Amino acid sequence: MKKNDRIELDITGMTSEGSGVGHAEGMAVFVPLTAVGDRIAAHILKTKKTYAYAKIDEIITPSADRVAADCPVFAPCGGCVYRHIKYEAELRIKQDYVESCFQRIAKLPLRLCPIVGAEQTVGYRNKAQLPVREENGEIKIGFFSRHSHRVVNSAACRLQPEAFSRVTEAVRDWIKENHISVYDETAHTGLLRHIFMRASKDCRELVLCLVINGAALPHADALVERCVPLGVTGILLNVNRERTNVILGDECQTLYGKPYITDTLCGREFDISPLSFYQVNRAQAERLYEKAAEYAGCDENTVLLDLYCGVGTIGLTMADKVKQLIGVEIVPQAVEDAAHNAEKNGITNARFLCGDAAEAARQLERENLRPTAVILDPPRKGCDESLIQTVAGMRPERVVYVSCDPATLARDYARFAALGYVCPEENGFHCITPFDLFPRTQHVETVCLLSKLSEASEF
């Protein structure tokens, strides 16, 4: 097999990134935009020793899971990978992927609880981060194409509420009319880098943030006049002059209105600023947090430690069930938001620490504070081994691990298991529940309960 060969291929599996997998001449062949059950004619693009990459030349026999994609830019856009298959098939793929991570990485064939699918698969995102570029005189605002930094216009993204599309088009018109320069990442020139939007439930509040490679925004009044009638309740300027792929800088300026949104989650009100983490799918986040609370098993004697707490959403939704809540977060603005949100909801049994999660955990250990339950919601890279050792050394009864990457969850599960924490069983399933917070994309969230060995058997 070599580049530019045309072969027939049966798609028998999926990768974690959403590409189909077939086998030919003893090699795995990865083909985007395919579905399990497809028989295709594939055009080989690149070959390695044991695998190859290809594209579809022809769908000879379509999979029973195939549906017509409902987005005109689905193929080139890098936002979604599953718009061409039934949602039920997507959920099966995600369930299988989480299970395979535990089998391959943790070396444990655990029986997971069924994945919790989303009731709403379109318009569910409450946040958008859209790069702005100029190509051949055309202003492009949307998503990066797969494996590139070429922007695909996404004027009406199916993942986002319609209000985001209206605001995006208003910004595009403002750029053109006022001759605003846009960012060139190769030359590190031009002003406008990204558009950032965040909205509360039903877009009752919507904050627009422009990320710029400079100190000031020209024609800001014209932007306000154009966007406020569209329901924008706050307009911010974020300064990012670094030559980096990181979207937001550390400095924010308010140009108009309220610089944050207020949203309700699990009966609590939260004020969320642009630099603070907040789950993008509010409805599914509520269901995930309810499961996390169930796994945490909180009561009036519980000391709950919420590491990577962000604006406090997970811990504060459980605060009325515990004796004391301690949240830890490294982003100063998020810590301020968390303390403010506790006060806003009349919660008096919570305190929040700003710092690295591992160091904060060690500090609490030095205070001889032994948490009953620990919530871990780390970034995609998972937990440092030192943090896992520190948490286990504090001897909590339960650890609830919320993960956005099944691979790092499985790796960290094995580390916890070596220290005496394992996943108990209930009703024939281990207490690991995948949640689809990101329908039509490759991402999947998972909640896992880890109990001390002596107590796991009693669950």
Active site residue 404: yes
Question: Environment class of residue 315 by beta-carbon count within 10 Å: exposed (0-12), middle (13-18) or buried (19+)?
Answer: buried
Phi, psi torsion values for 110, nearest 5 degrees: -75, 150
User: Which DSSP letter does residue 331 get?
Assistant: -
Residues 199, 164: contact at Cβ < 8 Å?
yes
The SS3 assignment for 305 reads strand
Query: Checking DSSP bridges between strand 6-10 and strand 151-153, what pairing results, if any?
Result: unpaired
Among 383, 404, 423, 431, the one annotated catalytic: 404
Could you count the other beta carbons within 10 Å of the beta carbon of residue 220? 17
Distance from C-alpha of 70 to C-alpha of 74, rounded to nearest angstrom: 8
Residues 331, 275: contact at Cβ < 8 Å?
yes
Residues 278, 126: contact at Cβ < 8 Å?
yes
Nearest 10 degrees: CA dihedral of 244, 248, 252, 258?
160
Is the Cα dihedral 272, 278, 283, 288 positive or negative?
negative
179, β-bridge pairs: none
- Interacting residues of 68 by C-beta distance below 8 A, sequence separation 6+: 84
Is the Cα dihedral 124, 128, 133, 138 positive or negative?
positive
- Joined together, the tokens standing for residue 130 give 């859209």
Phi, psi torsion values for 275, nearest 5 degrees: -85, -5
The SS3 assignment for 354 reads strand
Q: Which amino acid is at 183?
A: Y
Residues 206, 233: contact at Cβ < 8 Å?
yes
Alpha-carbon distances, residue 195 vs 15, 72, 126, 127 (angstroms): 31, 22, 14, 11
Helix 385-393 and helix 357-366: axis angle, to 10°?
Answer: 20
Distance from C-alpha of 440 to C-alpha of 271, rounded to nearest angstrom: 28
Q: Catalytic positions, please? A: 404
